[in-house]
Amino acid sequence: MSAHAHAPKRSGIADWLTTVDHKKIGILYLIAGGFFFLAGGIEALLIRLQLMYPNLSLVGAKTFNELITMHGTTMIFLAAMPVIFALMNAIVPLQIGARDVAFPFVNALGFWLFFFGGVLINTSWFLGGAPDAGWTSYATLALNQYSKGSGVDFYVLGLQIAGLGTLIGGINFLVTIINMRAPGMTFMRMPMFTWSAFVTSGLILFAFPAVTVGLVLLMFDRLFGAAFFNPDMGGNVVIWQHLFWIFGHPEVYILILPAFGIISEVVSTFSRKRLFGYSSMVFATALIGFLGFMVWAHHMFTTGMGPVANTLFGLATMLIAVPTGIKIFNWLLTMWGGQIRFPTANLFAVGFIPTFTIGGMTGVMLSIPAADYQYHDTYFVVAHFHYVIVGGMAFGLFAGLYYWWPKMFGKVLNETLGKWSFWTFFIGFHLTFFPQHFLGLMGMPRRVFTFLPGQNLEFGNFISTIGVFGMTIGTILFLLNAYVTAKSGKRAPADPWDGRTLEWSIPSPPPEYNFAQTPLVRGLDALWVEKMAGNKGMTPAEPLGSIHMPSGSILPFLMSGGLFIAGYGFMYHKYVLVGIGMVIFFSCMMIRSLKDDPGYHIDPVEMDEKGVKA
């Protein structure tokens, strides 16, 4: 055992390229997702500048189409999901008292697949133009005759690679949560964030294969002359819509459920009360996850499915308001009578509640098929989903980042900058998107690069563009905050917020093995239970012993790089490149399969030397 008692010493970039530590992978997801968030944000800024005045020609129609496509695609797939994965990676194993995730190697592979897929899509800007068929990439618009050039090919191949990464990441979380919980951590004692991570991973598992198939069919049509979506050859374009939304609607809940989980944690901690109606929250989360699969066709009311289908999907959609309402009231009742504090994390969480509720209410409006014929493809829809996704998920993610930053990086973010960042972002957000409801009701169509003067659309558009500056300032202040905090020498304590869940029982940032001794969980809000019993920390469930850890590996990076190369090969019909990429991919897979990883051990003596204890 002593033969491989030490971790192989890697430092600097090599360490980050080979890491299989879920906490480091979380940081990688945060950096990469943050980078793409900025790219998507700049695209949004350009979109709004183009629409600041009527008849502007700042970017023009072609670039505008590319901007809206890339903004949507980037924000959903390359910014929002990775930042969710960042928090899930950094926190979920800690919340369930696990030493590691179930599949550390697969976890790393998931990250690198997402990263290379995202880079592939974004290189389109420099290689002949970005995808321009909208983030939904509807056929026939996305087929060769209407989207010439290779833009949509980048979309198809990049999302395919990134989607694979997300799928295996989801499986990793499911197995981790089912099999790796500490003794006493029953399902009904799991923190809400872990619950939401669990349901979200389930949605990923069943939603992503549908879009995988959709993308394969589109790729075959575009690159190999297949006829799935070509009506002249017997193809059917509605198949794309079904496959896309069978994935796309659950995707909305893949995004928002983790935000719900974060809000539950933050509101409970900063009200110093246990979450009101915990079991109803669990039930509501699962129910929303289930209903998320039953409603995809509400995106297709105007496709011509007929009144029966429209009615059923409309009713199913309205049903989602019930569990969501349960959640909203539970958060309010958690705060009721609590000792509420308002650090930035809680400001974002409390700001989330009314904002998301507005998004939910417009959602119920949209779920009425007859009314949807009026709203369809107008700015009302744009306002609705930005209230849900920015006002809901982005606020939730900011709350989560401020809340868990100390655990991830060992430093507490600066509160003054944090509050400035919240208020500028919050006010900017409402200025941007609230007027868009009215613009939509007045008939302004989405996806069109300009509008005409004299139709009363000038004022709303102008205000909306001004609001974007507020959100931009808020984002810059957040980045500044991260920088200032990193520079300051002040270390965060293990438990800066007087927390309730397990992650606060270990040092910030946690050692690579998380828990020196696996904790024994004796109730909901495990750490709070011990605090109330007058204990200093968690009771260990096992004696102090040597800890087995997996070794790092460069293979996930190389495998993803192989698919990246093969992606270009497919796109440009250079089958030598496809061959090279696939050989790299499959040889790495074979090396992984044939070479068993012995891992290494960390001895208790070593832990004592470092002075790190659980």
Position among 206, 329, 462, 469 found at the interface with another protein (CB under 8 A):
206
User: What is the residue whose two structure tokens read 């800007």?
Assistant: 125
Does position 208 interact with another protein (CB under 8 A)? The reply is: yes
Q: At what angle do helices 415-441 and 379-388 cross, to 10 degrees?
A: 150
Q: Which residues contact 211 (CB under 8 A, 6 or more apart)?
A: 159, 163, 243, 244, 247, 248
We find the least distance from the C-beta atom of residue 185 to another protein, in angstroms, to be 15
Tell me: does residue 324 bind another protein (CB under 8 A). Answer: no
Exactly one of 60, 128, 225, 354 binds another protein (CB under 8 A); which one? 225
- Please report, as a single letter, which amino acid is at residue 231: P
Indicate whether 223 belongs to the interface with another protein (CB under 8 A): no
Query: By C-beta, is 54 or 511 nearer to another protein?
Result: 511
Instruction: Locate 603 and state its tokens.
Output: 């001895």
Say whether residue 532 binds another protein (CB under 8 A): no
Kind and range of the H or E run holding 15: helix 12-18
Compute the distance between CA of residue 179 and CA of residue 10 in angstroms, rounded to an integer: 30
DSSP, collapsed to helix, strand or coil, labels residue 518 as: coil
Least separation in angstroms between residue 200's CB and another protein is 14
Which of 97, 151, 191, 214 binds another protein (CB under 8 A)? It is: 214
For the four alpha carbons of 413, 493, 30 and 386, in that order, the dihedral sign comes to negative
Give the tokens for residue 256. Answer: 């928002």
Query: From the list 67, 109, 141, 210, which residue makes contact with another protein (rule: CB under 8 A)?
Result: 210
* Beta carbon nearer to another protein, 203 or 431: 203
Say whether residue 175 binds another protein (CB under 8 A).
Answer: yes
Looking only at the bridges linking them, the beta strands covering 539-540 and 519-520 are antiparallel
Q: Which is nearer to another protein, 69 or 241 (CB)?
A: 241
* Closest listed residue to residue 44, CA positions, set 353, 478, 472: 472
Q: Which is nearer to another protein, 234 or 611 (CB)?
A: 234
Question: How far apart, in whole angstroms, are the C-alpha atoms of residue 199 and residue 173?
Answer: 10
Q: Which is nearer to another protein, 5 or 14 (CB)?
A: 5
For another protein, the binding residue among 337, 590, 605, 610 (CB under 8 A) is 590
Which CB atom, from 171 or from 366, has the smaller least distance to another protein? 171
Q: How many CB atoms are closer than 10 A to CB 54?
A: 15
* Residue in 157, 167, 397, 431 binding another protein, rule: CB under 8 A: 167
Phi, psi (degrees; rounded to nearest 5) at 186: -75, 165
Contact 353, 332 (CB under 8 A): yes
DSSP 94-147: HHTT-SS-S-HHHHHHHHHHHHHHHHHHHGGGGTT----STTTT-TTTTSTTTS
Q: Which of 213, 309, 520, 541 binds another protein (CB under 8 A)?
A: 213
Closer residue to another protein in complex, CB, 208/260: 208
H helix or E strand, kind and range, residue 549: strand 547-549
Among 16, 35, 53, 220, binds another protein (CB under 8 A): 220
Q: What are the structure tokens assigned to 461, written together?
A: 């558009």
Least separation in angstroms between CB 374 and another protein: 30
Site membership for another protein, residue 544 (CB under 8 A): no
- Nearest residue (CB) to another protein, 207 versus 368: 207
The span from the CA of 89 to the CA of 29, in Å, is 9
Cβ pair 463, 500 in contact under 8 A: no
209/496 with CB nearer another protein: 209
The interface with another protein within residues 102-161 (CB under 8 A) comprises 102-103, 106
Task: Report how far residue 152's alpha carbon sits from residue 131's, in angstroms, rounded to the nearest whole number.
Answer: 4
- 134, 277, 599, 604: residue in contact with another protein (rule CB under 8 A): 599
Residue 239 sits in the site that holds another protein (CB under 8 A): yes
Count of positions on this chain that bind another protein (CB under 8 A): 46
First-to-last alpha carbon distance for the chain, in angstroms, is 23
Quick one: 239 or 340, whose CB is closer to another protein?
Answer: 239
In the bound state with another protein, the residue whose beta carbon lies nearer, of 177 and 287, is 177
Among 40, 72, 235, 351, which residue interacts with another protein (rule: CB under 8 A)?
235
**496: phi then psi, degrees, rounded to nearest 5:** -70, -25
Q: How far is the CB of 241 from another protein (least distance, A)?
A: 12
- Distance, in Å, from the CA atom of 510 to the CA atom of 614, rounded to the nearest integer, reads 9
Q: Encoding tokens for residue 349?
A: 């969480």
| One residue of 19, 172, 194, 464 binding another protein per CB under 8 A | 172
Q: Which range of residues in 20-28, 204-212, 323-331, 419-427 is near another protein by CB under 8 A?
A: 204-212
| 596 near another protein, rule: CB under 8 A | yes
204 to each of 51, 167, 197, how far by Cα in Å? 35, 6, 10
Closest CA to 83 of 121, 38, 119: 38
Nearer to another protein, 131 or 163 (CB): 163
Give CA 108 to chain center in angstroms: 17
Q: Contact letters (x/-) for another protein, 545-574, by CB under 8 A?
A: ---x--------------------------
CB of 581 to another protein, least distance (A): 17
Residue 435 interacts with another protein (CB under 8 A)? no
- Residue placing its CB nearer to another protein in the complex, 230 or 508: 230
Q: How many Cβ atoms are within 10 Å of 284's Cβ, its own excluded? A: 20
Least distance in angstroms from the C-beta of 203 to another protein: 11
Q: How many CB atoms lie within 10 A of CB 349?
A: 30
Among 178, 188, 332, 486, binds another protein (CB under 8 A): 178
- Sites for another protein among residues 357-386 (CB under 8 A): none
Q: What angle do CA 118, 124, 130 make, to 5 degrees?
A: 105
Work out which of 14, 61, 188, 227 binds another protein, going by CB under 8 A: 227
Distance CA 577, CA 583 (A): 10
Per CB under 8 A, residues contacting another protein are 99, 102-103, 106, 167, 171-172, 174-175, 178-180, 205-210, 212-214, 216-217, 220-221, 224-228, 230, 233-236, 239, 242-243, 246, 548, 590, 593-594, 596, 598-599
